[in-house]
Amino acid sequence: MDTIQDFFTADHRECDYRLADLESAIADGDWEAADTGFREFHHDMERHLQREETLLFPAIETVSGSAMGPTEVMRREHDQMRALMDEIRIAKDQRDENTTLGVIETLMTMIQLHNVKEEQILYPMADRFLQTQRGGLMARVKALEP
Amino acid sequence: MNTSRPVRVLDVRDLPPPEPMEQVLERLPGLAPGEILCMRHRREPFPLYPILRDMGFQWRVRTPAHVPFEILIWHADEPAPEDPA
Amino acid sequence: MINLSRLSLDRTPPLWVPLQFMAVAPLFGVLFAGVMILLGPQVLVSRWMPGMIGAAHLLVLGYVAIVMFGAMQQMLPVVAGSPVPRGAITSRLSFMLLTLGTPLLGIGLVLHRPFWIAVGGVLVLGSLGLFTLTALIALARSQARGPTTQAMTLAVIALLVTAALGGWLAGGHLGLGWPLPRHMTDLHLAWGLLGWVALLVAGAAYQVVPMFQMTPEYPALPARLHAPLVFAILAVLTLTVLLPVPAAAAKVINMTGSGMLAALMAGFAGITLWLQSRRRRRNADVTVRFWHIGMVSLLAAVLVWVVIQLLPGRGLWGIWALVLAWLFVAGFAVSVINGMLYKIVPFLVWLHLNQTRMRSSNFAMRVPNMHEVIPLGLTRLQLRLHLAALVAGLTALAWPGLLIPAMLLFAASNGLLSWNLFTGIRCYRASLNASRTTTG
């Protein structure tokens, strides 16, 4: 059976790859590919964030009895990522290569550092404390579409 | 007794560090084939030895009665000197 | 109910603490180059020349250690979820002791000033002691048990051993009464370079190479075993020196152990290059290129080591030892660190500005993206200068007359790196000031 760690880590990688492909398209000056690439990236990313915000984090908060701990920090970082995604969309729509690449670099770094915290600490912890309810939780996570 | 090899004496006993090291490193490149440099020192210059090796010299330490330490230095491709009494 | 209160995922240390020191650190590279030029080509005759020993400490403590301290303080909360205890005070103190102690120790060794060596040495030991102690506390508290935290823990312990051996050697140097056996210096070097530097780079690599370059993960078993093996071999080699091992057996242990260390270093470099060749991000930014240079240099260093073993006389002597040292320190350690600085500094500037914007809810505030923090053109120029300095340094070891141009290139490269990092700091200040005028 899927662990929380395995599933969400794989989900991270898929979003990472979408962003890397978007970056390549823009560096190549292929704006059509960039438009498609951004749509796909944005969709996958938003789905991942919602999987965490609406399902995983509340489950963690229920067992820990607090919405203030690490999940609160993660939510805040999600909002920062959404703001950067908006910046990318605006710069891309203006066909501004330098700015788009600069913001992509920033978002990529932000995402990576955020992912490390989740993959090293939060997911292993979630797997330990949510063991009994994991089956049902993961079924809902997989079914979620934004 | 073979004392035919010329010996140059370098007495650094009264010099403050790092002058002994500087002086000997200054003299060594000018040491002619067959020559021996005889360094007189008040203590054993441990940091000098690996440098001598890297520069292609061999050495021997003696403790004669009148000097605390006497270091004989010669080109590594030459035979070790017999005691220049 | 689970207690999450000790788990901190957002305790970023204050921006100023690491950033100022990271921006100053490359100036020790400039100082190193200046000292080498003053010493002149004759210093290249042996790694045992006092000037060479002093200059090497300027580079390794002043540049490598200072940046690694700063980088670790940033990384620990992220990869271990565990910040350095009393981070603001301990880091400021350990940085200050190191920045004061290093020039005293380095210049003291060059000029043979026992008093400077003693004072500088005590300051450096104090800094290393404080840093290793606090880092080990943070690592012990961490709940993360991946190869990164494991390699980091062993690297920090290796640094402690290096510092202890260094203190012992300095005592012998000052004539405190104990002898200065050569193999102690070799152990000091092995623990410092292969234990501290290489293991910390490996620990960081397990995180940052897949992360920033989007390569596949490091294969699990080698990543798990690399650091413990290196550490265990270093320990065995040390015990062989300390215990009464018969000479013949010691020789066999030494050859086997150092051969395994060389293979482990080459393995790490090889795997990293292989992963990088399969990276998803096709754009090779300066950081990727610096990592490339670093890994190729590490492979070259291992190759030189093998050549030395095949030479008659066998041993690290003459110019070959310096070729090896230059490839390892300037080629491997400095390149990787240089590349990482171009990720760390722009990101920290962005992160802190962004936090300021969020906290003040001043959404009109403009936060520059990472490419705007340090102009890309200047980072690319610095990469070229670094590569040129690296090659020129190797050439100078064959033709010592070229020492001065090589060191001028190295000084230029590190001077520009420091300038670029200060540009990042200036960008931070300018954005903050601009935000104050928009709100005020």
Find chains touching chain C: ≥3 CB pairs under 8 Å. A, B
Amino acid present at C147: P
Q: Do the beta carbons of residue C192 and residue C160 sit within 8 Å?
A: no
Structure tokens at C421: 């990092």
Amino acid present at C324: L
Q: Which of these, C356, C418, C355, lies nearest to C386 by C-alpha position? A: C418
pLDDT for residue C260 is more than 50: yes
Tell me the per-residue pLDDT of C336-365, one tens digit each, with 9 for 90 and over.
Answer: 999 999 998 998 899 889 888 888 887 778
Chains B and A make contact, 3+ CB pairs within 8 Å: no
Q: In what helix (H) or strand (E) does residue B58 lie, and over which residues does it extend?
A: strand B57-62
Pick among C1, C4, C79 to test the A interface (most A CBs inside 10 A)? C4
Helix axes C334-360, C66-75, angle to 10 degrees: 50
Provide Rg for chain B, Cα atoms: 12
Q: What is the pLDDT of residue C366?
A: 86
Q: Which of these, A31, A34, A40, A39, lies nearest to A22 by C-alpha position? A: A34
How far apart CA C251 and CA C257 sit, in angstroms, is 10
CA nearest to C114 within chain B: B17
Structure tokens at B32: 């002619």
C41 in contact with chain B, both atoms CB, cutoff 8 A: no
Q: Which of A81-95, A113-127, A130-144 has the highest mean pLDDT?
A: A81-95
| Mean pLDDT, range C360-386, rounded to an integer | 91
How far apart CA C290 and CA C342 sit, in angstroms, is 10
Distance from CA of A140 to the nearest CA of C (A): 24
Residues 6 or more apart in contact with residue A73 via CB below 8 angstroms:
C9, C10
Q: What is the pLDDT of residue C14?
A: 66
Tell me the per-residue pLDDT of C154-188, one tens digit each, with 9 for 90 and over.
Answer: 999 999 999 999 999 988 877 776 666 778 899 99
Give chain B's domains with CATH numbers: 7-75 (3.30.110.40)
Q: Do the beta carbons of residue C348 and residue C340 sit within 8 Å?
A: no
Tell me the per-residue pLDDT of C416-434, one tens digit each, with 9 for 90 and over.
Answer: 999 999 999 999 999 988 8
Average pLDDT of chain C to the nearest whole number: 90
Tell me the per-residue pLDDT of A52-98, one tens digit each, with 9 for 90 and over.
Answer: 999 999 999 988 877 667 898 899 999 999 999 999 999 999 999 99
Contact between chains at C211 and A103 (C-beta distance less than 8 A)? no
Expressed as residue numbers, the domain containing A8 is: 4-143
Distance from CA of A20 to the nearest CA of C (A): 5
| Mean pLDDT, range A11-40, rounded to an integer | 95
Q: What is the pLDDT of residue C28?
A: 98
User: Could you give the angle at the alpha carbon of C42 between the alpha carbons of C39 and C43, nearest 5°?
Assistant: 55
Contact between chains at A20 and C214 (C-beta distance less than 8 A)? yes
Pick among A88, A112, A131 to test the C interface (most C CBs inside 10 A)? A112
How far apart CA B37 and CA B39 sit, in angstroms, is 6
User: Could you give the angle at the alpha carbon of C355 between the alpha carbons of C353 and C361, nearest 5°?
Assistant: 100
For residue B17, list chain C residues with Cβ-Cβ distance below 8 A.
112, 114
Q: What is the pLDDT of residue C177?
A: 66
Among the partner-chain residues B18, B43, B54, the one whose CB lies closest to the CB of C50 is B18
Q: Within the 46-75 window of chain C, which residues sit less than 8 Å (CB to CB) from chain B?
A: 46-50
Q: What is the pLDDT of residue C5?
A: 45
Between A1 and B43, the higher pLDDT residue: B43
Q: What is the pLDDT of residue C316?
A: 61
CA nearest to C50 within chain B: B47
For residue B34, is it left (φ>0), alpha (ψ between -120 and 50) or beta?
A: left
Q: In what helix (H) or strand (E) does residue A54 lie, and over which residues does it extend?
A: none
Residue B29: phi, psi to the nearest 5?
Answer: -60, -25
pLDDT for residue B84 is more than 60: no
C435 band by pLDDT with thresholds 50, 70 and 90: confident
Chains B and C make contact, 3+ CB pairs within 8 Å: yes
pLDDT for residue C305 is more than 80: yes
CATH assignment at residue A40: 1.20.120.520
| Mean pLDDT, range A19-41, rounded to an integer | 96
| Torsion, Cα of C339, C342, C345, C349 (10° steps) | -160
Tell me the per-residue pLDDT of C204-227, one tens digit each, with 9 for 90 and over.
Answer: 999 889 988 889 999 999 999 999
Q: What is the pLDDT of residue C296?
A: 98
Domains held by chain A: number: 1
How far apart CA C87 and CA C12 sit, in angstroms, is 10
C2 band by pLDDT with thresholds 50, 70 and 90: very low
